[in-house]
Structure 1
Amino acid sequence: MPVPMSPTPASLLTIFGASGDLAQRMLLPSLYGLHRDGLLPPTLRILGTARSEFDDDAFRTSVADSIERFVPAADRDDAMVRGLLERVHYVPATLGDEASFATLGARVAELRNGGDVVYHLSTAPRFYGDICRGLGALQLAGAGTRVMLEKPIGHSLASANAINDSVAAVFDESRIFRVDHYLGKEGVQNLLALRFGNAMFEPLWNARHIQQVQITVAETVGVEGRGDYYDDYGAMRDMLQNHLLQLLCLVAMEPPSHFDPTAVRNEKIKVLRSLRPIGRNEVAAETVSGQYTAGAIDGQAVPGYLDELGRKSRTETFVAIRAQVDNWRWAGVPFYLRTGKRMPRRSTEIYLQLRQVPHSIFGVAPQPNALVIRLQPDERIELQLMSKTPGLDRSGLQLSPVELDLDMHEEFANVRRRLAYERLYLDAIEGNGTLFVRRDETESAWQWVDAIEEGWRAAGMAPKAYPAGTWGPSAAVTLTDRNGHGWRE
């Protein structure tokens, strides 16, 4: 059987929605970082497109402004900015306007110069199918092309299937790169290194030794002008369905045979398919939803969600779930998932608490060991151990908790911390799908989340109020307390 040929590095990156907020804040600064470090293919050209009526020069000015606003001054170099701008082009195009789309197609054909093309659809997902059909009609979606899709892929399993079907009618699965930008974060990739590059952890990474796992993604911000979008999705669809479930997969998956797209994603889908369903009979006991009211963050008064939205809503801004992975490795270990807006501090971390020692010789039970993997705002790994308290111990040896702390910023102080999209863009340009999400992952995650959403509706469960600046409704505390656990705060 012939060995499949590896994709060749792309000669053209085409960004749909190139004048949007994501492009300005993340995508263009990421491309600058790659260009500055000499990591982009020398022949790569960047073509932006959107409804905005820019020409090449106006878009280049916009790119330069984005770099000045979002790239630290210490990392900016005028010569490197000019070098990136020489790669940049722009064509305005509007879906439904065949003439403008044909002009875009002609520019794509010209700039690709016979090489591979990556199309990044940084637009609302409802446009994915139309964009792909337009590319297909212009014969610009065949071999040597691939497409990046931003989350969320749909609003439910049915809508995700519809979007995936519309894209799959033009691009085969091997050329579809679904983005979850968390997978491009250094700390998330370091989780894989921690698990599979160190012999000490794997023997303990199971239900025999681990008592509970907590995954928290906490934000201090509110909806920030995205009220209409957020009110349609909420914390469950916007954050938990993708980011938190992807982190759960990386924590819980079996060791892949290789670090390649098929092997890694095969193990992740096994975890998603092992999640115990939570339906209408379980949602009251296993889930909590909340919605923030007025409060204070860092001493500053902030309005409630309904005040920001300007209307009534039952959309959740907080969700906590007690999940179970029903397989040999994790049976009986609760995975507590929590995400919310207007939390006391910004934090993304994974907390694994080990079981107690089987017998304490010190009179009192020592605190259990724990491993904390912090992903943001700083990246660090802490191993929490028990140590002897200094002293003569005439009344018995005393123990105190201590931490072995690896601060990634301090340890690698001379290495620039890269934006997540630098990693993702580089992989997409080179055709490596390991850190992207496969269709069956997306749909399995939606199936699990849809059952919870349907359970909420059937039970008539409305989000519980919590003041901004707190860790969510009191019911979230009860969720862990009744199982003998407590949230790490």
Structure 2
Amino acid sequence: MATTKKSAKTEAATLLILGASGDLASRLLMPGLGGLLTVQPDRRVQLIGAGVETYADAAWKDRVTAAMTKGDAKGPAVTDLLKHTSYLTADVTKAADWKQLLAACDSPPAIYFALPPAITAKACDALVGLLPDGARLALEKPFGTDEKSAHALNEKLATLAPEDHVFRVDHFLGTSGVLNILGTRFANRIIEPLLNNIHVASVEIVFDETLGLEGRARYYDHAGALVDMIQSHLLQTLAVAAMEPPAALEATDVRDLKALALRATKLWGDDPATASRRARYTAGTIDGRKLPSYVDEEGVNPANETETLAELKLEVRNNRWAGVPFTLRSGKGLGTNRHEIVFTFKAPAHVPERIRGSDRPNRLRLDLKTLEMTLELDVNGPGDPYTIDNVSLTAALNPGQLPAYGEVLAGVLEGDPMLAVRGDTAEDCWRLVDPVLKAWKAGRVPLEEYPAGSSGPWD
């Protein structure tokens, strides 16, 4: 669903990846770029990698080739990129090294900070006064560590580039599952008029995984499920699911309406203790695979009391959604993968007498992974026509041509920030999460436990 312009495809662009030797670059960014170039063979990109490590030219090209192969990238645009890509050893916290990097760029670059947040902040300090006109900055989440630091980061970025040249990347916004929300909601008259507090009883946005820690203790044990998944990924998904219909799928319209939805979002009951729950997994078995207790995973400090399952109950206090609970949940080590948005509808105002069995609500499910839409309805059952049967109507939603990072990079290279997180919404996400983190730290919300492979402690 990349909204690309022909001129943007054919004009050569420069992508400068900082932290190019890291996992993010090789596992997601470069395969995503390869997918973009495969779909758009006329596009030309000068790829420059940078990092503190040293790479010979051949070794760097081997690394890029391996990443492209992982994404099954091919075609003339990929061949051209591999021929001309280069790598420079640089310390991006030093202005002199920035000058060397920028001099190597054939055009004002799109600079992707695949770096830890603290290094990104120092790199931005060193970049002051050096960034050429037309350059773009792309930063990976998290955007700060709380609302105050997110605001400080936004102020720093504002000294470097205008807001529409700053791309705060949350790749969830580039996934087919989230992009399909737009078409499903706004192109169907039988769906959009029903998505409001007149008809909807509740909304769930769930991202449950069977995977455990998978060697991510260094990051995850300090973040936890709330910061890792809900703080940006699921709150951004909520904004798309709850926003008003845009006049056009253009950056200004979409980002303005997402911002209005998030600005109206509050913790349920304005109490972070009663609006949140947390838990962590103990030892268990998932599909025959034994998982140790989270606290026994390598690299975990039990004193951190890190949650592996978090749940947040919110309300979008506007005319459309006031009174409807939005539950955001994400966890690891659970018995099933569940990645979906569920709109549960209110019961009919009146069911005629003699009709029996109409006790299950209608639901609209949008699966973010399998890309299926399911509508659960009550119909006449077999045999007795007065007994209701609940049926599910399922349709496959079409995947996009590009992987999530391909969609994201298309926007960055073309200067289209529709799929980027705007500065004010980045702060708003922390506004909702900060009070919860404080309540947890104060011990107001118990850290519950659940066996790995179960559905969690609350179901």
Same fold (TM over 0.5): yes
Q: For 1:278-328, what per-residue CA distance to the aligned partner results, in whole angstroms no more than 9, with x for missing partners?
A: 69x823422111111111111211112111134323111111122111111
Cα displacement (A) at 1:100? 4.1
Does residue 422 in structure 1 map to residue 406 in structure 2?
yes
Give the secondary-structure state (helix, strand or coil) at the position aligned to 1:285.
Answer: coil
Note closer, same or farther for the CA distance 1:365–1:389 as it changes in structure 2 (3 Å cut).
closer
1:238 matched residue in structure 2: 228
Task: Confirm or deny: 8 A CA contact 2:356 2:387 kept in the other structure.
Answer: no
Maintained 8 Å contact 2:381/2:388: yes
What is the CA–CA distance in structure 2 between the aligned matches of 1:389 and 1:17, rounded to whole Å?
Answer: 60
- Partners of 2:405 and 2:75 lie apart in 1 by 22
State the Cα distance separating 1:258 from its structure 2 match.
2.4
Partner of 1:314: 305
Distance 1:175 1:416 in 2: 25
Structure 1 residues 320 and 452: alpha-carbon distance in aligned structure 2, compared to 1, 3 A threshold? same
What residue in structure 2 maps to residue 64 of structure 1? Answer: 65
Report the secondary structure of 2:442's partner residue: helix
> Bigger CA drift: 399-408 or 328-337?
399-408
1:262 aligns with 2:263: no
1:38 maps to: 40
Aligned length: 448
Question: Residue 10 and residue 449 in structure 1: after superposition, are their counterparts in 2 closer, same or farther (change >3 A)?
Answer: farther
Partner of 1:483: none
In structure 1, C-alpha distance between the alignment counterparts of 2:173 and 2:92, rounded to whole Å? 30
Equivalent residue number for residue 243 of structure 2 = 253
Give the Å deviation of 1:95: 3.4
- Quote the RMSD (CA, aligned, Å): 2.3
Is the aligned partner of 1:160 residue 2:150? yes
Q: 2:191 & 2:452 partners in 1: Cα distance?
A: 37
Q: Which runs of 5+ in 2 are unaligned?
A: 1-5
State the Cα deviation string for residues 35-63 of structure 1 (Å, max 9, x = none).
Answer: 22235633x21111112201332111011
Which secondary structure does the structure 1 equivalent of 2:410 belong to? helix
Aligned to 1:26: 28
| Partner of residue 346, structure 1 | 337
Q: CA deviation at 1:102?
A: 3.7
Counterparts of 2:373 and 2:104, CA distance in 1: 47
Tell me if the contact between 1:321 and 1:336 (Cα under 8 Å) persists in the aligned partners.
yes
Alignment partners' CA distance in 2, 1:286 and 1:254 = 25
Residue 370 (1) aligns with residue 363 (2): yes
Counterpart amino acid of residue 243 in structure 2? M
Unaligned runs of 5+ in 1: 1-5, 478-489
8 Å CA contact 1:22, 1:122 repeated in 2: yes
Q: Aligned partners of 1:152 and 1:453: how far apart in 2?
A: 15
Change (3 A) 1:183 1:468: same
1:336 to partner: Cα distance: 1.1
Question: Mapping of 1:89-104 within 5 angstroms?
Answer: 89-96=86-93, 100-104=97-101
For the Cα contact (< 8 Å) 1:7–1:430, is it kept in 2?
no
1:287-306 map, 5 Å: 287-306=276-295
**Correspondence for 1:390:** 382
Could you tell me how far 1:266 is from its partner in structure 2?
A: 1.3
SS of the counterpart of 2:349? coil
C-alpha contact (below 8 Å) 1:35/1:84 kept by paired residues: no
In structure 1, distance between residues paired with 2:395 and 2:67 = 33
What letter is aligned with 2:231? Q
2 CA distance for matches of 1:89 and 1:265? 35
1:486 maps to: none
Relative to structure 2, which stretch is displaced further, 230-239 or 437-446? Answer: 230-239
Q: Is the CA contact (8 Å cut-off) linking 2:41 and 2:75 kept in structure 1?
A: no
Aligned to 1:3: none
Residue of 121, 125, 144 corresponding to 1:129: 121
Identity of counterpart residues, as a percentage?
A: 36
Contact 2:31 2:73 in 1 (8 A): no
TM-score normalised by length of structure 1: 0.86
Correspondence for 2:373: 381
The answer to whether 1:441 aligns with 2:425 is yes
1:454 aligns with 2:456: no
Paired AA for residue 162 in structure 1? A
- Alignment match of 1:222 (pick from 207, 212, 228): 212
2:81: which partner in 1? Answer: 84
Counterpart in the other structure of 1:271: 261
One-letter identity of the residue aligned with 2:170: D
* Distance in 2 separating the partners of 1:237 and 1:10: 37
Question: Which secondary structure does the structure 2 equivalent of 1:434 belong to?
Answer: helix
Q: Give 1:442 shift.
A: 0.5
